[in-house]
Structure 1
Amino acid sequence: MSEQKKYLGELIAECVAVFIIILFGDSVAAMYSLYDPSPYKTAYWGVCIVWGLGVTVAIYATGAVSGTHANPAVTVALATFRGFPWRKVAPYIVAQVIGGFLGAAVVYALFAPVIEHFAAAQHLDFMHDGAAAGVFFTHPGDYVTPMHSFFVQIVLTGILVFGIFAITCEFNTMAPQANAGALIIGLLVAIIGASAGYLDAWAINPARDFGPRLFCYLAGWGPAAIPSPGNYWWVPIAGPLIGGLVGAGLYQSLLKPFMPRPVA
């Protein structure tokens, strides 16, 4: 296989990976938000599990092609600490955002009648009230300001990338073996959501938020999506990018130097 064809495959795989995550994740968000009674309002762990298993499926589907970054924060951290080529960073991120955009478009096509009914029944406007916006992209929860959410995103994404670096470290003899890492990474995403998701819907991934947000901006949500109330749109981008570097840096400096090395 030529190098150019291989690189094209990597970009397609990154797009498909985020598409899969958003297809399952935004769909379960729709099930949580749009129905009354909701099948998940008293079973929030189910929402977290679906998001996490969406990540697992994405890794199993695309990992052999691109390594399944599926997250700009992961891509930047890998380029900074693990030798991923910087020339590939921007194209990977663009592919990831496109995957999020396309995933949101399919979810909208699936749930459009329900979204319209929800907005009408709740007397909500898409542009001004952001009706059903929580299905697609994130926002601060109750009592949480955008700047506090910025801090939350740094911490949660730091935990995510710290965990990913630990799970995929070649010297970590306690890491899951063979292909089990995909399941553990998915469970890590679910755990983060279950423990802190109500703070701001745990974006922890700029492409997961901005791709669907961009779709919604074009699909009729307008300013409710970008710049969004409180000019929030940049928080799930900048926070995870910083948090990913923090988490990766902590793993590389605190634990990796003490990992056992194979005897020559």
Structure 2
Amino acid sequence: MRWYECVMYYQIIAEVIGTYFVVLLGCGSVVVNKIHGSVTFPGICVVWGLIVMVMVYSVGHISGAHFNPSVTITFAIFRRFPLTELPLYIIAQIIAAILASGTLYLLFDVTEDAYFGTLPVGSNVQALVFEILISFLLMFVISGVATDNRAIGELAGIAVGMTILLNVFVAGPVTGASMNPARSIGPAVIMKTYNGLWIYIIGPTIGTILGGFAYNLIRFTDKPLREVTRSSSFLRSMSRNITH
């Protein structure tokens, strides 16, 4: 086995583990709240934001911490991710989401009333627009904090996690705030509930592509690179202030 094949092997494992726990804990908070009523809606929002943040910091340096087929597709389109690795990442993310959903199904007595997937509450058009908008914002933030070396890289996980938290707060009651086809496909497959699933495949993908495109429009600057990267590290900036 060549060295780059070993690297890819570890990346896929990291992506599976990260996606598995994102879906397990995020959807798990929904199940627990519907069955026991102990988490509350704000609690669900916090769980989604925190688990993504934790897993970004845990495996982001190994796999890139996509956990989301739409994000991976967008990275590939804008040449931030190898196109040859795209199918493996998407398969890994979907399999991880199905495994996490299956785990929840086995651990809890999940009925139709306790469904932990995503379903549109209003019209399909409303849900689609919401998913496009919140996915746009998510990818816009990811592009800013994770692909631009002028950003404060150490805070990327916090920024992405907080974006998800805010999106779930606003769009959660309307669409379930998926932003992630794998997050919706996993529960749908396990529970055999496919109503409106196309919304959560098409919407996030359109939104993330538009979000990545929008950030690329404003990415460039006339300032020299050495000047704009002076404050790219919060920790380095703080250490310089302390030493001086």
TM-score relative to the length of structure 1: 0.80
Q: Percent identity?
A: 27
* Equivalence for 2:221: 258
Task: Give the counterpart of 2:174 among 152, 174, 199.
Answer: 199
Is 2:128 the partner of 1:150?
A: yes
Is 2:144 the partner of 1:166?
A: yes
* Equivalence for 2:75: 78
Task: Give the counterpart of 1:56 among 53, 59, 62.
Answer: 53
* Equivalence for 2:93: 96
TM-score relative to the length of structure 2: 0.86
CA contact (8 A) 2:118 2:184 kept: yes
Q: How far apart, in 2, do the equivalents of 1:31 and 1:237 lie?
A: 25
Q: Where do 1:18-37 residues align within 5 Å?
A: 18-35=19-36
Q: How far apart, in 2, do the equivalents of 1:159 and 1:170 lie?
A: 16
Is 2:212 the partner of 1:248?
A: yes
* Equivalence for 1:140: 120
Aligned-partner residue type, residue 246 of structure 1: L
Aligned-partner residue type, residue 160 of structure 2: I
* Equivalence for 1:176: 152
Greater displacement, 67-76 / 1-10: 1-10
Q: How far apart, in 2, do the equivalents of 1:235 and 1:259 lie?
A: 40
The total of aligned residue pairs comes to: 226
Q: How far apart, in 2, do the equivalents of 1:259 and 1:234 lie?
A: 42
Offset of 1:87 from its aligned partner?
A: 1.3
* Equivalence for 2:234: none
Q: How far apart, in 2, do the equivalents of 1:259 and 1:96 lie?
A: 38
The 1:234–1:75 alpha-carbon spacing in structure 2 relative to 1, beyond 3 Å, is same
CA contact (8 A) 1:171 1:261 kept: no
Q: How far apart, in 2, do the equivalents of 1:261 and 1:79 lie?
A: 27
Query: Over residues 41-65 of structure 1, what are the superposed CA-to-partner deviations in whole Å (9 max), with x where a residue is unaligned?
Result: 4xx2211110111111221222121
> What SS is found at the alignment partner of 1:203?
coil
Which residues of structure 1 form unaligned runs of 5+? 120-129, 218-224
Offset of 1:259 from its aligned partner?
A: 7.5
The 1:79–1:170 alpha-carbon spacing in structure 2 relative to 1, beyond 3 Å, is same
Aligned-partner residue type, residue 160 of structure 1: L
Aligned-partner residue type, residue 11 of structure 1: I
* Equivalence for 1:215: 190
Offset of 1:111 from its aligned partner?
A: 1.5
Q: How far apart, in 1, do the equivalents of 2:138 and 2:59 lie?
A: 19
Which residues of structure 2 form unaligned runs of 5+? 228-244
Offset of 1:198 from its aligned partner?
A: 1.1
Q: How far apart, in 2, do the equivalents of 1:170 and 1:163 lie?
A: 10
Offset of 1:201 from its aligned partner?
A: 0.6
